[in-house]
Amino acid sequence: MTEARTGPLRHLVSIDDLSLAEIRTLFERAAEFAADPRAWSHLGRGRISASLFYEPSTRTRLSFESAMLRLGGGVLTAADMKTSSATKGESLADTVRVVEGYADLIVLRHPSEGAARLASQYSAVPVINAGDGSHEHPTQTLCDLYTLWIERGRLEGIDVVLAGDLRYSRTIHSFIYALARFGANIVCVPHHGLELPDYVLQRLREEYGAEPVRADASRLGDLAAQSDAVYITPQKPHQLSLFTEASGLKVEHVDAVYMTRPQTERHTPEETTADYLRLGHATLKADVLRDAVVMHPLPRRDEISQELDADPRSIYFKQAARGVPIRMALLAALLGQIELGDAHPPVGPKLYPAPLANPCANPTCISRTETRHVQPATKLLSRHPLRAACGYCSQELTFGFVGCAEDRVYWPKESGEARRLRPERMVFLRDAPLAEAAGFRAPVTAAVVPPS
């Protein structure tokens, strides 16, 4: 149904697909929509969105569908993909190419990291990532940022505590990238063993210049009692008056505490959630939290005690309700009905096809779970040292050697020859035996001719 859309095709795979100016415009439009939600039914008239949900959802799916209906459009729902052709072995790429013929936009939730990127490569209509494994959940982030923007009036310089399962919460990953880009300070209070993944930390450092430093979180009371808190700030540590190398950075004031549930469905058997963090009256008595709002993407289990529901600082149900106007704004924008006003929106990462072998070791990456239609792809992170990430799940690749797809010679990753290869020719190889087994050969070193 491409003819129904005006303007260039845009997807929302990562929160990085929107510029900060565009996110601010979405807030402003969402506020207008929220003021009179029934006044906008002309914006989506004649348009249809399809919800493709391969994982359970209540808020995300229903708020998307409510938003589309408020805009005057229609919705198609495949909420339980167990009743779809996926159970007959249909690939995601094929499903997307069928559904684009039925709808003007696809909202996709899938258990594999990178699924939305794959869908966007095959779809002629906009694809919105409604959660891909533990990777990203950009529209929850829009809802979270919009909530903070309303509650605090700004995002720059605010202090946000992120607590709980920071490893597998996709809401945390998209949120932390956006907070860093807006110049917020972030205090990470992970459940022990469920710290932020390295690839997320690297990206915060390298792409957004946000520096993690040790935090002295003693003033957070029992919230941080069992955790090694980390403070992530857009400023360099030496510029921080409250920072000393020895004790870390003193957490002095908090604007928001964002709690997440343990993502048990993605845990390994070794990852335990006994003594998981729990917010209750006692925790919120800490002076530093006196006017912090309490947020949660929901669903909650026991990590926020029900006794907090009546506390005026608890805003998680308001936060969920705000998912509708912000999604109305996003849908209207991707359907070409409102302008986001940035002449140079982000273009997305430059990906290179990975020839010959899939270098991604993440078993739940879409490049591993759906091999039929995925051409593995990589993103070059740096040449000095040579580092690369999977183009789908963003996880950093582990490799000792790089082969050249043309001449089939492999080089140690530290060598100048490896670094000088064109990215589209690079084949990332874990070790030498694997390189040999894949048909690569070691370089022939020129014999040294002794001087006569």
CA distance 288 to 367: 44
Taking Cα atoms as reference points, which of 327, 405, 398, 409 lies closest to residue 359? 398
CA distance 104 to 152: 35
Whose Cβ is closer to ligand NCD: residue 137's or residue 413's?
A: 137
Question: For this structure, is 441 an active site residue?
Answer: no
Whose Cβ is closer to ligand NCD: residue 131's or residue 359's?
A: 131
Determine which residue in the list 21, 59, 266, 434 makes contact with ligand NCD, applying CB under 6 A: 59
CA distance 135 to 132: 6
Q: Which residues contact 167 (CB under 8 A, 6 or more apart)?
A: 134, 190, 193, 194, 195, 196, 197, 263
* Angle made by CA atoms 365, 366, 367, in degrees to the nearest 5: 90
Q: Examine residue 133 and tell whether it contacts ligand NCD (CB under 6 A).
A: no
Q: Which of 47, 117, 137, 413 is catalytic?
A: 137
Q: Nearest residue to ligand NCD, using CB? A: 297
Question: For this structure, is 6 an active site residue?
Answer: no
Whose Cβ is closer to ligand NCD: residue 179's or residue 215's?
A: 179
Whose Cβ is closer to ligand NCD: residue 106's or residue 427's?
A: 106
Contacts to ligand NCD from residues 283-322, by CB under 6 A: 297-298
| Cβ–Cβ < 8 Å for 223, 193 | no
Contacts to ligand NCD from residues 142-171, by CB under 6 A: 170-171
Determine which residue in the list 70, 110, 137, 322 makes contact with ligand NCD, applying CB under 6 A: 137
Whose Cβ is closer to ligand NCD: residue 295's or residue 351's?
A: 295
SS3 state of residue 63: helix
Question: For this structure, is 59 an active site residue?
Answer: yes
Q: Phi and psi dihedrals of 52, rounded to 5?
A: -110, 105
The residues facing 152 across adjacent strands are: none
Q: Which of 10, 25, 60, 117 is catalytic?
A: 60
Cα–Cα distances (Å) from 256 to 24, 149, 185, 302, in that order, read 19, 11, 11, 19
Question: For this structure, is 95 an active site residue?
Answer: no
Size of the site for ligand NCD (CB under 6 A): 11
416 exposed, middle or buried (CB, 10 Å; 0-12, 13-18, 19+)?
exposed
Q: Examine residue 63 and tell whether it contacts ligand NCD (CB under 6 A).
A: no
Contacts to ligand NCD from residues 217-276, by CB under 6 A: 260-261
Contacts to ligand NCD from residues 4-23, by CB under 6 A: none
Enzyme catalytic residues: 59-60, 88, 109, 137
State the residues that interact with ligand NCD by CB under 6 A. Answer: 59-60, 131, 137, 140, 170-171, 260-261, 297-298
